Structure 1
């Protein structure tokens, strides 16, 4: 199982600094969710962790090696990323898309192997997409399409998967469907999953570890039940709220309001005013 760490990381575009001197270690074998306001640098950080964005300074270290010095295929055998809103070439079938995940293992003269075939079939089975393997990706529903893309990342057979807002543009049913799938992949295979989510309540429900980004830095990180409070929501999202507990899972649940009152609640029903 790989370790993934950012050391003294500064990221930006042109003269604009988005992330400044950030340090973070992604817990192995857990689901980590990056949260924060729009434009805070969540997606920028994710892209840098996947070596899609060159840091202005600092390093990303994957399994003890500086990722910038690793070969492209070597990185792709250890870490896969699903960007936000990926575009599929018109007419591409689900099977053809999932086969793209085997690219890091393919050479110019290398024949398609049993290992490749097994990896693709296993990915289709894990995502319940086998029955759609001959369908064109652009004919699928939003949830099915997202599962097809996740199948492609699974075919890559990496221990670590990064996903940028995997539930964007999906209705509530398909959001839960996709997040349940990722949760099962973590539970069954022990894969390290890092994703950006906008829905704080879903982040709390599915994450083992949450990283809140604000002012170009890590504002807070830890287990949802330890760090997600009214104060954090107010500081990170500039929103006042009540924080109670999800009655089904016991995870923190944020209830926004605009009356200037904020309540911490615990399982026993106790509460206290936090922000006036």
Structure 2
């Protein structure tokens, strides 16, 4: 079953197409990761799924409804998006930021309620930010700040969460923390997660479904173990590599052919065996 899908979708800027005639189905209740080289249209596609970018042609369906026919508030009740590098107003506290996620559920008839307060507290707890609720967002570390933004998207209480490169600018520890958090949300709450990642190995570890974009279209999609191979990496990223099995997760692990310090062939063979 598809939570989000596109039909003959074409996207572009100023007459130049980035995505062309794309048919894509995002599986419900799974983690889908968009991968591809810089400029291939990953972020553009993600933005269009949230109706932040109008298609040149084609359509996008959200739970079977055309996105273009829905109001902005209705979309925000059903889908949350975290763009790359969001910026909070100076002096805004974590609690105030997370409360913004409840805006789509407010109206003249339905003002702030105990339910809203409970949802905000749950989002803070889920992201480990209860002790930082009264801290200003700009005083947090990069990883804590990213968690605060994710808490805001959680407060929207949508079944679908879109994230554009949520691990960018984070160190290795915080990258894993953020991805573990998203994985747990999917496992425990069955949230549909769609994100753009640059690190193919992390994509393979965390994704149930990978979509590789190349030349304005889908080059391949499916389970990581079914589509990630040396030929795919060569064609999509223009990089030679070997594919081994991740020793911890059993998922595909890309080992690039670089020009750094070489290891001897016997050791290389033992590592890849």
TM-score range, shorter chain: over 0.9
What SS does the aligned partner of 2:120 have? helix
Q: Are 2:2 and 2:27, in contact at CA under 8 Å, matched by a contact in 1?
A: no
What is the CA-CA distance between 1:212 and the residue it aligns to? 0.1
The C-alpha deviation readout for 1:64-120, integer Å capped at 9, x for no partner, is: 110001011111110000000000100000000000000101124642101111110
Matches within 5 A, 1:72-221: 72-108=72-108, 110-221=110-221
Partners of 1:111 and 1:45 in 2: CA distance: 34
What is the CA-CA distance between 1:3 and the residue it aligns to? 1.7
**Structure 1 residues without counterparts, runs of 5 or longer:** 260-268, 272-276
What SS does the aligned partner of 1:3 have? strand
Q: Are 2:11 and 2:44, in contact at CA under 8 Å, matched by a contact in 1?
A: yes
Q: 2:268 corresponds to which residue?
A: none
Aligned residue pairs, count: 263
Greater per-residue helix proportion = 2
* Runs of 4+ off more than 3 Å: none
What SS does the aligned partner of 1:111 have? coil
Partners of 1:188 and 1:150 in 2: CA distance: 16
Partners of 2:10 and 2:144 in 1: CA distance: 36
TM-score, scaled to structure 1:
0.93
Partners of 1:2 and 1:110 in 2: CA distance: 31
What is the CA-CA distance between 1:270 and the residue it aligns to? 8.9
Please tell me the root mean square deviation across aligned C-alpha atoms, in Å: 1.6
The C-alpha deviation readout for 1:25-45, integer Å capped at 9, x for no partner, is: 000000000000000000000
Partners of 1:64 and 1:3 in 2: CA distance: 8
Q: 1:138 to 1:270 in 2, by over 3 A?
A: closer
TM-score, scaled to structure 2:
0.94
Whether 1:69 aligns to 2:65 is: no
